[in-house]
Amino acid sequence: MATPSPHPYPTPMAPPWGDPAAARALLAKARGGLAEAARLPRPGERYATAHLAALRAAAAVLAAHGRPEPVRPRRRPRIRSAWEVLPEVAPELAGWSALFASGAARRARAEAGIPDAATDRDADDLMRAVSTFLRLVERLLALPPVARTAPPEPLRAVPPPPPERPDAR
């Protein structure tokens, strides 16, 4: 009998939480970054901004989970990219981590202003991937809902100032 295939979407992470407020803030920045990328005219800028949004989403997972256990606790750990650490914390995101790690050099070229660092198609493909990744991360983290504030009051028309009277001097 064949075993059922794993669910195509990650399931929410179980607590304990590292820092849910930081994770929520990073997810908000990632969403804002993706929206900003969509408004940028040049493909290199769109690519770099979308890649940064993916990095912020990965950082949200790392912030929510806390620090991974050190591999060699006696030695000073080397600095590792979020894309290296993410599969240790959330193995179900390993494929996404590999995808975005492979685009890091292109992002660096785009940030450096190299004109042909990314094409329109590269930028658009990455933006679609980041959008999907963000939805998966939001589902994975299943953060407690944010308290919503009341919507701002609608603007009211300000009455025009009274006309000046010439004899008021």
pLDDT digits (tens, 9 = 90+) for 127-138: 999 999 999 999
* pLDDT in the model for residue 46: 94
Report whether pLDDT(53) > 60.
yes
Quickly tell me which residue has 């990314």 as its tokens: 118
Q: Please write the tens of the pLDDT for every residue from 63-121.
A: 888 765 555 566 666 778 889 989 988 999 999 999 999 999 999 999 998 988 999 99
Q: Which residue has the tokens 């025009």?
A: 160
Q: What is the pLDDT confidence band of residue 22, given thresholds at 50, 70 and 90?
A: confident
Could you tell me the pTM of the whole model?
0.71
Residue 36 scores a pLDDT above 50: yes
> What average pLDDT does the chain have?
79
CB within 8 Å of 70: residues ≥ 6 apart? 77
Q: Tell me what pLDDT residue 2 has.
A: 44
Q: Which pLDDT score is estimated for 167?
A: 63
